[in-house]
Amino acid sequence: MVEEVGVNDTGDLIINVGPQHPSTHGVLHLVITLNGETIKKIEPHLGYIHRSIEKMCESLSYRQFIYVTSRMDYLSSHINNHACALTVEKGLQIEIPERAKYIRVLMDELTRLASHQLWWGAAAMDVGALTPFFHAFREREMINEIMEETCGARLTMNYNVPGGVMADIHPNFQRKTKDFLKFFKTKLPEYDEMVTGNIIFQNRMKGVGILSKADAISYGCSGPTARASGVNCDIRKLYPYEIYDKVQFDEILDSSGDCYGRYLVRMEEMRQSISIIEQLIDNIPEGDFQAKTKAVLKLPKGEFYTRVETARGDFGVYIVSEGGLTPYRIKFRSPGFSNLSALNHMACGQKIGDMVAIMATLDLVIPDIDR
């Protein structure tokens, strides 16, 4: 057996982080070239959880392929489904009822909250504080219960169908959501007390992994990662879909571009999501939750593209249709892939501990990157 020395020609240490490693949150494999504790190069190796979802979608009908997309970014599965449903509706020019729009947006924001809560816990865990993770999960559990009642699932919701949503909201939905918001609003200051204000946490995050505005654009970063560098890229504001143009919310921007900036942007986004839900929860219009559609959907010949804002950034669905029962080609634009590509740029010259902090604030979901 050839012995692996793990030192390159210049005498630098090469370590493999992953595919099984506590801080990669999944099966991401990073080959890191180290000089002592300082990182010289990071090379991400992908493909450990590649399930060829895009290819699978080509053999599924327009009603079926939506369900596969829940398995990509499993933390914002509802928003993924939403994007797919929107694309099909765009192709078929289906006008969906107002009630369905409200429900979809409410669910999107709840999903975003749940995703950011998990991210908050995991980010704190990555920099060494284990307790916040459990607190975050307590709150996330409440959202999961709301989802379970209305969608019948906790993680892979599959609630969106072309033409609206699969079922009407549960009678408890409004009451439980309001209870949750009331509870969560008392907990957010606790989050700040426990993590944001902690001096060790701030030292770990401030000035670490700086991504300039130009770099954020050239790497194609999106979502909170890019907004922390000052890029206006909130799809909900730029290309409003559903009823996002009717609700009041701010696009959170930060100019620092460091880990702490990304942290603050996500924390503030949670507050914005709460505000959006509060505006909508009492005003859900009566009516159908689903438009009448044909039993068999066939998109006309052509190309269709929609983008939505997931918890991680710009998620795009591109469908090429030949007019058949199934899409001719489907391509997903996932935010995690582009955000990961900036990792090497951000982490070079920093310490190993910084790399973990950067990965934590990029909020990577590996199945979203590999698909």
Residues 252-291 that bind another protein (CB under 8 A): none
The amino acid present at 33, given as its one-letter code, is T
Residues in CB range of 202: below 8 A, 6 or more apart: 196, 260
Q: Could you tell me the smallest distance in angstroms from the CB atom of residue 204 to another protein?
A: 6
Q: Which stretch binds another protein (CB under 8 A): 99-107, 111-119, 199-207, 230-238?
A: 199-207
| Beta-carbon-side half-sphere exposure of residue 13 (alpha carbons within 13 Å) | 10
Q: Exposed, middle or buried: residue 111 (CB in 10 Å: 0-12, 13-18, 19+)? A: buried
Nearer to another protein, 200 or 325 (CB): 200
Q: Which stretch binds another protein (CB under 8 A): 97-105, 231-239, 251-259, 348-356?
A: 348-356
The amino acid present at 250, given as its one-letter code, is D
- Contact mark string toward another protein, 140..179, x via CB under 8 A: ----------------------------------------
> Which stretches of 152-258 are DSSP H helices?
173-191, 199-205, 213-218, 223-227, 235-238
Q: Which stretch binds another protein (CB under 8 A): 200-208, 238-246, 308-316, 336-344?
A: 200-208
Residue 197 binding another protein, by CB under 8 A: no
Q: Could you tell me the smallest distance in angstroms from the CB atom of residue 341 to another protein?
A: 22
Structure tokens at 165: 């949503």
- Contact mark string toward another protein, 17..36, x via CB under 8 A: ----xxx-------------
Q: How far apart, in whole angstroms, are the C-alpha atoms of residue 72 and residue 74?
A: 6
Nearest to 366 by CA among 137, 23, 24, 13: 24
Residues in CB range of 169: below 8 A, 6 or more apart: 103, 150, 284, 289
Residue 212 binding another protein, by CB under 8 A: no
Residues 26-85 that bind another protein (CB under 8 A): 37
Binding positions for another protein, rule: CB under 8 A: 3, 6, 13, 15, 21-23, 37, 124-131, 133-135, 138, 194-195, 198, 200-201, 203-204, 351-354, 356
